Structure 1
């Protein structure tokens, strides 16, 4: 009877695990193939137990079910190849299925087994001589699958390590466990005078196989495993108490037995739960040495990219589940004005641990970074999502009014041990993020100081040069007053050009103070299109677009410089296009000219980097300074079907 119950439990839990795997198929490499293997394993259990459940009349059907064993081994081999990402050609998988299919067909025809009575097992399937073909095939395929696992385990020991290696080790260990369990049938077939006790451990095989994979990617699986283990241990405690009560009491009392069981389970509930948490998540307790080691590792990061990558590795190693760390260093402060704001669009950067980073920093980032770190922010209390929709655990750091805070997603099912470790880790990470922000803000301030110093020197030089140039220009203009008309025209053109250069030089070098106001950006663009020849607006422009944080005079100056640059490159003129999102306006001035030479692209917005015909070499540099003053940016972009596009990004 005990063996019948054991096999029934194995079948039931196998079917349940098939459903779990199908729900989490996107979280496990080869998850659907593993579900198919477990379903085939369930058929094998049914084939062995059907005569014991329904009697001799079902033996023929049971033999047909057992004859599918070679195909089960083929599915197992397929799963091992996919799960381990083995460098095998797909033809090997096809060959495995072909071998399994041939063996299954032969077994279905020959039915090379029969059932005999066994005192412990009941009706036992015994192989006949014709079983050599299916037996050899499933042994070959099973051995091939285990060889793939062992090869992957050794390769990861040399190259990768971490959870991936632990998963492969768990699958390999579960296969060995399954082999030991099936050894119970060998005891019966060899007619040894002992009970086939290994079969009693068979229900653990599918549990070990599935949990060994899921525990490194799905927190809920660990929570379920923890609850199941707690109840199992408490049940064992209750059974032990019931067994010991007759030795402790001279009489039998159900009430006392029940009371003793309840008291024992209540008293041991806490210790058992803590033991299970340590067993499932070893290292849940965090020591001062752990925190100090975290701080040392995190302090080596000099940017938010490297900090997020290091934090992901440390937190993943600590909690045993792949965890992503996102750091958003954009200070969300709706009360600051444009000149003090450093908000830009947050875009994910590439890498193993993507962070959210701002595209620009301002001077007040240093003062924001000096604000003390807030206390730990608790895990989100949203109800656990459906298993198929559970997210990978993530830790997000972001700034709000200069304060660093933490939020969590995908941690709803995390037990207290990993939560506590993650909380303490987040505190260390916040300190490291604040240090990185301070270092970056200091570097920005130093660069800004150097820029301002250079501009001050250039401004003084430009004022002197402009003053010394304008007087000789006036003399030259008067000296040619009596010259022929063509001479006066040529001299006048060159004098105007020199005067324009002096004016641009003064404008670029002197300190700026924006005067933002509320105006219709569409109306400004239409005015430029009417005034400047060869300029047209794209259909993307709205009828009206009111903006409040832009200086209309400086914006017009930047657009005119871009238009003149495009008009000098293409006789067809240019088009002004626009994109609008929630926080920014993107203006694009595009033309079909000859394009920008590759050697100029990296220094295109530096003074005198490019000198178009009739230009001063400061037009694009002034555009870049206008964008920077508005906490925006300008860039050379690709925008089909145009050959050249300059994109100006400004805050709304």
Structure 2
């Protein structure tokens, strides 16, 4: 094959690649104006190559027009560079102005092209098997100089973008610089004949690589499909070169090992046959791989799409119940049979199940009862178990963060409630005092009724302040029996039998004022239920148990509703007591919690109703 035919083949490939690249960029560009400008550059490259081909085949007028349109190539590239670079941190006023005036640069380039055609700025010389090759005349200096100027300006714009951009955009610009150096090397041989250098332009044989590398350098960080295509293309190229090397080695040594028939076959035919075999192998490989996977791992197929579906579905779960339900549904859909997922603390189910465990090193999974499973199903379960364990860890972290956020919001709400309560106490107590003074001259019965209601309102305000405010504990030695006796003197205990079972010497470390509030609220709460009974009775007992202070307040009133749980009983505003405000037991729990103790309701102590308070043996001063 002659050099002129090799050159013509290279130009043909560059032309076709230019058209295909332009069509592909136009399809992918959408609203990306920079890719549209790059598509224009690819079209001009294809037309420039067609100009060389037209000269080769006798169409001199058409070839000259296409080759003298050379300035439009760097103009399109300048347009692309301006759009690609002039955004974000690299945006500059003069670049914006140049982008706005880019139509005038196109008009100037068209004017230079028309002037070059008019003055016959191009000619041909006989080169390479006496075939015509383009050269610039003396009149073509303007065309060549203008083309070089626009190209330098475009690369200066890229240089500015490389200095001010970062990340993928900076890497794309760097790739364009590298490809630009490669294109400069190839284009150098194009102008050799114009300067009288009678050297065949060998570098132009690699022109197809310039256009493809330039486009790839621009869009590889923007379009994922380009990277997949480049990966496959590079793999195919490496395989072709490897086959070529193997064929060359066979051609040298086949005769020495007795394969004379193979030696007589031309190298290019062996290479072509090998490429056909390689292509056939690539076509049948996916089918053969699926068949072998079915043979080695019979059962459900496991691929990237299945793994992606598993991971995406499991990560959507926001509760343990939903996670288990989604996991079992995914396994049932994949394996065609029911597989139960067992979390820690769950009872082991019968049949096939995936056991999830949490240890010191994190979450893990293993399959139980796999004797009857095929290797493929066992592989599916093991891979799914690994993904499910990772999802368990992620869900655990997510729930912990949600709980921390809930507590933060609760604390913030209490702070806001405390401020509101303090403001409300100030605003309400003033009118309450005015009402009390205004009722001074009212009848005795009316005055007593108003006084009782004002006392109730005042206590409600005080309870809200206690519940929502900050508790500051001041520890001291508190004699329990004396404290209980003083509390009873402040309460109305008529017609109620009260038994105090507390030793005279019993003392504990606690906040005396707060502990008094605990006894007042618990005893008054019991009196409200037993005061109107025929034989109402209460009992207050207190003692030390292994250093812990235990106090039980019993009453023989009606038993509490079974529907109320321990947590609900001590929540604010859930009172069942007539005339109650729903804060008494909530305040008691808050004070007991501040002391580091516990309070529970019991019905197994021989009384219908018992509230048991337990405080730790050692208390230290603190704020809650």
TM-score (norm 1): 0.45
Q: Which has the larger radius of gyration?
A: 2
Bigger relative CO (Cα 8 Å, ≥ 6 apart): 1
